[in-house]
Structure 1
Amino acid sequence: MSITLTDQDKLTLRNAAYGAVTLMAAAGAAGSPHRIATDGSLALSSATGLVGHVLAEKTKGLNLNGKSTAELADRVLPDLTAAMALLGKQDAAEAENFRGTVVVAVEAAARTHQGEPGPALAEMARKITGALDAA
């Protein structure tokens, strides 16, 4: 099955995936947000299939700025749900690939030196997973 994604669809996928990592960095601001962002972004760069190709494209047009974590979440969480819906309509396996890619990135971002993520990171990961599963 061939998947057709518009430029807007691709932007939604990139905003969702990179936005999830950005949300994790915001949730871990008291610790090491740069390391969280780096670990999550590196995990996204290992994506394969259509998702990997879309995430590897230039990221012009990303909207990952916000005055607060809440403002960013208001954009990113719906994009995660929308990305799952648009991929799910065309290819369930690619939708699952996207979900798995984002979950691995969130897990990489949540990893701390002590092993377990703190409560803020764990809660943000739960919200991200919920948005992925809402489609």
Structure 2
Amino acid sequence: MTITISSSFLPHTEPEASLAFYRDVLGFEIRLDVGQGEYRWLTVGPAGQPDTAIVLTPPAVQPGLTDEEKQTILDIMAKGSFFGVNLTSTDLDATFADLEAKGADVIQEPTDQPWGARDCAIRDPAGNMIRIAQAG
């Protein structure tokens, strides 16, 4: 039996800003763009990896949430501590330089971590943490 990851989900707060970030900064393909306004779902993924995707979803649209609960989710997102994704790069330093030149919101420059990885961190327009590690 083989299990693979097909998609993960991250919230977005501004669809156009998210599209621009994932397409123009990370170089991902836009695969689906459905819905409109507050209820717009975007699917993006790395070129050449059609079986792997990130679905960017509207935050706090689950039925039954109170306005207070929705606001709590938005507040946590703004701090960059609600969701995140880990990526890898074959050349972390070159990737970081490219992301920085494109105006990515840098949280951590490439760093050798105590657990052995070398990685950096940026945030997408919704505040989601994106960690990028040097591929093995």
**Shared fold per TM-score greater than 0.5:** no
Higher strand fraction (1 or 2): 2
- Which one has a bigger Cα radius of gyration? 2
- TM-score tier, shorter chain, comes to 0.3 to 0.5
TM-score (norm: length of structure 1): 0.33
TM-score (norm: length of structure 2): 0.32
